[in-house]
Chain A
Amino acid sequence: GALVYQYPRRTICKSGTSMRMECQAVGFQATSVAWYRQSPQKTFELIALSTVNSAIKYEQNFTQEKFPISHPNLSFSSMTVLNAYLEDRGLYLCGARDTPSGNTLYFGEGSRLIVV
């Protein structure tokens, strides 16, 4: 079956420092990976969609300069939160699609960012 491993599960970082999270697809080819953030208010926000052989598309309020994403192959993606501050805290989730026309996202377990 399709599995997505995401790590680290939890990071505590000092304000102004950065956190990198990784997403590994097992058992399928992740043709596209969507990165979400669940805020403390529970809202799921789409940060960006990364599709192999296409430019990464960032949603409004999210930029490559703040959330650089790498998607070098069909099994791996990473995202960094640069210069993290209190408003960046939350649960970051990667969801991978196995086909370009598929609708199902297979999620990792999330990386929780705590900023102190």
Chain B
Amino acid sequence: GQQVKQSSPSLTVQEGGISILNCDYENDMFDYFAWYKKYPDNSPTLLISVRSNVDKREDGRLTVFLNKSGKHFSLHITASQPEDTAVYLCAAGEGGGSNYKLTFGKGTLLTVTP
């Protein structure tokens, strides 16, 4: 089954509001958690990430929350803007060196309406 799940394929938020994107995972070996942003016909780009020893990380309007016991992490985008409209992919990583593996969710399409 899917090891990394984004249960909401889409989310619509009004400009200025908070966008909350969620991700659940199954594998206890994941120790790295990331959010990538993807515009149509563009490559996924890393937005923000945390390692498993941290439960929260802020970067400007972005905050990642990690709940290890619940196997869940989320991305909060404050003061959402129309330019934030894109597909957001969560990803979880395990291993290192030549054994490193990053597993992605299917993505959530965030639409920020003016």
Q: How large is the interface on B (under 10, 10 to 19, 20 to 34, 35 or more residues)?
A: 20 to 34
What is the size, in residues, of chain A's interface with B at 8 Å between Cβ atoms? Answer: 28
Q: Which of A11-19, A75-83, A105-113 contacts B (4 or more CB under 8 A)?
A: A105-113
**Are A104's CB and B43's CB within 8 A?**
no
Of listed B41, B44, B45, B49, residue having the most chain A CB within 10 A: B44
CB-CB contacts below 8 Å: B15-48 with A:
32, 34, 41-46
User: What is the chain A residue whose CB lies nearest that of B41?
Assistant: A109
In the complex, what's the smallest C-beta–C-beta distance from A104 to chain B, in angstroms?
5
Residue from the list B99, B100, B105, B107 in contact with A97, Cβ < 8 A: B100
Q: Does B70 sit within 8 A of A, measured CB to CB?
A: no
Which A residues between 70 and 116 are near B, CB-CB below 8 angstroms?
A: 93, 95, 97, 100-101, 103-110
Does residue A66 face the partner (Cβ distance < 8 Å to B)? Answer: no
How many interface contacts (CB-CB < 8 Å) are there between A and B?
61
Contact at B41–A43, with CB atoms within 8 Å? Answer: no
Q: Is the Cβ of B106 less than 8 Å from the Cβ of A95?
A: no
A-contact 0/1 string along B96-114, CB 8 Å cutoff: 1111111111110000000
- Per the bound structure, the CA–CA distance linking A49 and B2 in Å amounts to 19
Chain B residues near A (Cβ < 8 Å): 2, 9, 32, 34, 41-46, 49, 89, 93, 96-107
